[in-house]
Chain A
Amino acid sequence: MVKWMAVGLVRSAVLLIGLQGVASAQPLPSVDLGGGVYVLPGSTNEASPANHGEVGNAGFIVGPRGTVVINTGASYHHGRRILETAETVGGKPVVVAIITQPLQEFIMGSAAFAERGIPLLAHEAAARLIADRCETCLRNLTRLLGEDAMRGTRVVVPTRTLPGSTDIDDGGRRLRLLHHGWGSTPGDLAIYDPSTATLFAGALVSSGRIPELRDADVDGWLNALQALARLPLRTVVPGYGPPAARDAIAQVGHYIELTGTRVRALQQGGASLYEAVKAADVTEFATWDLYAVLHPRNAQKLYLHYEADEFGR
């Protein structure tokens, strides 16, 4: 009897270890866009323990000799799963990881790549901002998600940096990295794959989820969107939300302009910051995810922007 129980315990222990092993080895769900282009969709919600902070999209593009990963995820654990999924599904080693924006959901998995010696590539302004602020973000994120979820996570500052747009040929596949100035963040990069006419827009495009203006240069963002919309495009992979058609680019511009017009009218009409944030509804976008959270924040950012204009910057 005792012997039987002991065997049972060992069995369940083995089973448990086995399951954990399977959990980390099982690939993340990916969306195959064809032509070796894949999206790893993330949540369109805020970072929370429920989604392990896995917010926003990552992706990968498979070349003849290697795979390029786009964004490294929200934690070391997430980064490893992105890396393993890219190699399992794509069948090629990952040769570089590109960071589209210095945002926690796109960079916190970088240690998983760095420990394999895979270079991290970013715009130089993005790399600078990662060095400046991401330790603070990591502390806050760890407080939110817990030590377990964030184990092994550290801030890795990309060392392969670019001053502007350029073409790369990593993995034997030509990709265009596009930088149209400070848009959604300093150091935005969008990745364009000419062979499939696919654009990984990063945080410059958000679809069905309110874009976040916290780090934005509003005019720069609108200019960048116009430039991206001129590309020959079959698919746009937004930073947040499912892959979409070209129209997703204009939608973001429309949101920014609509909110800007509304807030500017309130600010110039004498509404206080408090009043303006409360009154800045743009009903057209009220059904987008995170409207209740991000829209008031965006309205405040825009109000302060227009107010500062009055001092003639």
Chain B
Amino acid sequence: MNILRRRLITLIALALVLPSGGGALAQSADSDDPEASPMWQQVRNSLFQGRTITSPADDVLVLDAPTRAEDAAIVPISIRTRLAQSDSRYIRTLYLMIDNNPSPLGATFHFTPNSGRADIETRVRVDAYTHVRAIAEMSDGQLYMSTRFVKASGGCSAPPGKDPQAALSTLGRMRLRVEGEVIANRPALAQLMISHPNHSGLAMDQLTRHYTPARYVRKILVTYAGAPVLSADVDFSISENPNFRFYFQPGGKGELKAEVVDTEDQRFESALAVAPVKAAN
């Protein structure tokens, strides 16, 4: 990460953090109309121009998030989709957007028919009262959106962890886990856990009064038996120790493999041998 970029982030941080006093109230006023959010209007124009976005679209996708965040630094987000990933029509991309975060587009997930299902669960940082939205882009170009309003309250921050050195020593450690029995040709749930502080570069160390330099996971690629099932561009809106739950659809035996790259261009890998059983019927 070069100095210019860091400065840029600091500037964004100042622009967005400083007026937060009245900001929280102003934002809550438009909580019932996700379309009215000014940040959404900007992002919508640059990403989707004049294309139609159907919302709500509960028969395509549903975004779930607690209305009141237990911890603003770690807000669980669940995106459930209702369509099978068929070769002819599938969800190609899911955009996860947190309107009032310093960098509103927190993650872009890409799927294939091999994903089986385009569901995602992860955890995000939420800076203020904000709309959170998931936008699904189909392989035929159609767009669907689901939104939730999340209140992240102030209060006191948690004390620092006991040992920042220990956190550094496990940086990049990953765990891949498959949940439940894996059945051939059915979507199987997997979990990727990454030990990484995911520093945004926006948080001041209260003791040193310095900003902890940005360092966060930016790319994720998951393959099964060599074929991509999930790839993602993510940023510091994702909470520390990034965690993703997703699906893949195994035909036969294979290796589930995750590769992760952070902003220091460090690469981390983890793999898991999977032997699906045949469906009972």
Contact = CB atoms under 8 A, between A and B. Distances in A.
Given A133-B206, A143-B21, A310-B175, A272 B155 contact: no
Nearest to B71: A300
A144 B160 CA distance: 24
A132 interface: yes
Contacts of A241: none
Interface string B112-142: 0000000001010000000000000000000
Interface residues of A, number: 35
A274 B64 contact: yes
Interface string B71-104: 1001011100000000000000000000000000
B207 interface: yes
Interface stretch (A75-83, A134-142, A163-171): A134-142
Contacts, number: 87
A139 B154 CA distance: 9
Contact of B206 (A132, A139, A143, A270): A132
B159 A133 contact: yes
B121 A311 contact: no
Contact of A136 (B24, B157, B177, B243): B157
A194 interface: no
B231 interface: no
Interface residues of B, number: 36
Contact of B159 (A129, A296, A304): A129
B75 to A, nearest CB: 9
Main secondary structure of the interface of A (DSSP, over half): helix
Nearest to B173: A311
Contacts of A300: 70-71, 74, 76
Interface of A: 103-104, 129, 131-134, 136-137, 139-140, 143-144, 182, 185-186, 214-215, 217, 270, 272-274, 277, 296-297, 300-301, 304, 307-308, 310-313
Question: Ordered nearest first, which 6 A-B pairs have the shortest CB separation?
Answer: A140-B154, A274-B76, A132-B206, A270-B179, A137-B156, A297-B70
